[in-house]
A and B are shown apart, each in its own frame.
Chain A
Amino acid sequence: MPDTTTAERAGFSADSGSRRSERLRLFTEPVVVLAILGAVLVWAFTGDLDDIEAREINAANILTLTWQHVQITLAVTAIVLLVAIPLGILVTRPWAKGVAPIVLGIANMGQAAPALGLLVLFFLLTQQTGFWVAVIPIAFYALLPVLRNTMVGLQQVDQSLLEAGRGIGMSRFTVLRRIEFPLAVPLMLAGLRTSLVLAVGSATLAFFIGGGGLGELIDVGYKLRRTSVLVVGAVLSAALALLVDWLGGLAEQLLGPKGLR
């Protein structure tokens, strides 16, 4: 396809926006998010709570669910990093030319599939519930951005740099470690940020299969018609996603190689 590169460049996972809007988000986002979150929590905690509301809206429950949510996100991120980066490195080696499109194709399918479908299918197939049954399909779903950006990041490294590296006597591994990898780091971080957002978002669906997380508050609020519970769940998970994304943006700014910034 002639315009895959354009798609990757313009698509939302290959880079994370213009520098200016990045900076805008970096400075204003945490303030706005924390203000809204604080207001909503104060509103929820100070309102008249009936029995059901009181059962859901209390510090212990909210902290437990938030922590579950964070744990799912962390586990997903760990799996994504451990699988996608080595896989991306592996399939971009010259001898793996044939495999790269196949791997990319599978990962593409993973992301084209609805996260909800993957979760439910995995649950139905394993007949299990709980943490890992939620984590594994979400990790599969969130794999693509890091995998694709690792591959693109490694492939876009200027051929003449690799040649210069080889020409001054670096081994293939040294070229990978000292040239290709550092130069691919910015794109990998951008991919990681997208994966993180996908992970937080999909983790709201974990409750469907008994995986817990903040989705549970939304579900309870919806089913039992308690708007305050629903809103607290929704705002908390949105705030978590925005903050995670903000941290990802910070990492992009701070961790990329200095000479490239």
Chain B
Amino acid sequence: MNWLSDFGSFVAGRWEQLLFDSYLHVSAVVQCVVIATVVGMLLGVAVYRSPFGSAVATAVTSAILTIPSFALFGLLIPVLGLGVPPTVTVLVLYALLPIVRNTIVGLASVDSSVTDAARGIGMSRFGVLTRVELRLAWPAVLTGIRVSTQMLMGILAIAAYAKGPGLGNQIITGLSRVGSANATNAAVAGTVAIVILALVLDAVYVLIGRLTTSRGIRV
């Protein structure tokens, strides 16, 4: 209990800094997810009709996901310098696999009788894609976006090492002040804030899913 009140006063004292870091953390993740969604869906749409293309896209993005994030940061620092550029690149690259794969799977699992019917009533190829296939694949894509977001929330913490933004700075600060009174407080604040924000974002996705999924295909 003693520790809790200590932690409470720590948070109260750095309220603004914590809020600011949280804001940066969420905004960086959300922006990167948006970029990754656009890139990933374009990629998915481009390859989903070709089994080989799908296989290559999935294999490459999943290989990227396998690379340790700290190693990827390290590799990008000599090329892109510090701060925002390597951070955005890393986050977007990691977010790709779930989105690309779910786009491919979602599009491929649209019943061909549905697309045939849409063609049959005179929809253009593009119309079928945007008004039928992507609409039906959307829940799967959204699931991929959710998975990506959860992942990025954690990965972004490492970006602080390369002078990136976000709550990782609290953790790094805690580590660098080891022995001082507030070291643990800072690390706890950073870690817990990331978990809470991840959960909040997940709830937001559930809501988005409700609002953007046609009621006819909701489970």
Contact = CB atoms under 8 A, between A and B. Distances in A.
Q: State if A and B touch, Cβ cutoff 8 Å.
A: yes
Interface of A: 1-3, 6-7, 10-12, 16-18, 20-25, 28-29, 109, 111-118, 120-121, 123-125, 197, 200-205, 208-209, 214-215, 218, 221-222, 227, 230-231, 233-235, 237-238, 241-242, 245
Interface of B: 51-52, 54-59, 62-63, 65-72, 74-75, 77-78, 97-98, 101-102, 104-105, 139-140, 143-144, 146-147, 150-151, 153-158, 162, 168, 171, 174-175, 178, 183-184, 187-188, 190-191, 194-195, 198-199, 206, 209, 218-219
Given A117-B187, A121-B191, A230-B78, A201 B54 contact: no
Given A124-B175, A197-B66, 12 more contacts: A2-B219, A6-B140, A10-B102, A11-B98, A11-B147, A111-B154, A112-B153, A114-B155, A120-B174, A124-B183, A205-B70, A234-B74
A17 B69 contact: no
Given A24-B55, A204-B68, A114 B74 contact: no
Nearest to A245: B66
Nearest to A193: B66
B195 A124 contact: no
A231 B79 CA distance: 11
Nearest to B191: A117
A241 B206 CA distance: 33
Given A18-B58, A25-B62, A114-B153, A200 B191 contact: no
Given A10-B140, A124-B174, A21 B78 contact: no
A201 B174 contact: no
A112 B199 contact: yes
Contact of A242 (B67, B143, B184, B191): B67
B190 A117 contact: yes
A25 B78 CA distance: 28
A71 B56 CA distance: 32
Nearest to A32: B63
A80 to B, nearest CB: 17
A20 B105 CA distance: 13
Given A117-B194, A234-B74, A242 B66 contact: yes
Residue from the set B71, B105, B150, B198 with the largest chain A CB neighbour count within 10 Å: B71
Question: Which of B97, B140, B153, B158: most chain A Cβ within 10 A?
Answer: B158
B101 A17 contact: yes
B191 A114 contact: yes
A10 B199 CA distance: 19
B136 to A, nearest CB: 13
Given A17-B101, A25-B59, A124-B174, A241 B74 contact: no
A12 B65 CA distance: 10
B80 to A, nearest CB: 13
Nearest to B175: A120
Contacts of B195: 109, 112-113
Contacts of B72: 234, 238
A245 B68 CA distance: 12
Contacts of B51: 20
B75 A231 contact: yes
B13 to A, nearest CB: 19
B144 A10 contact: yes
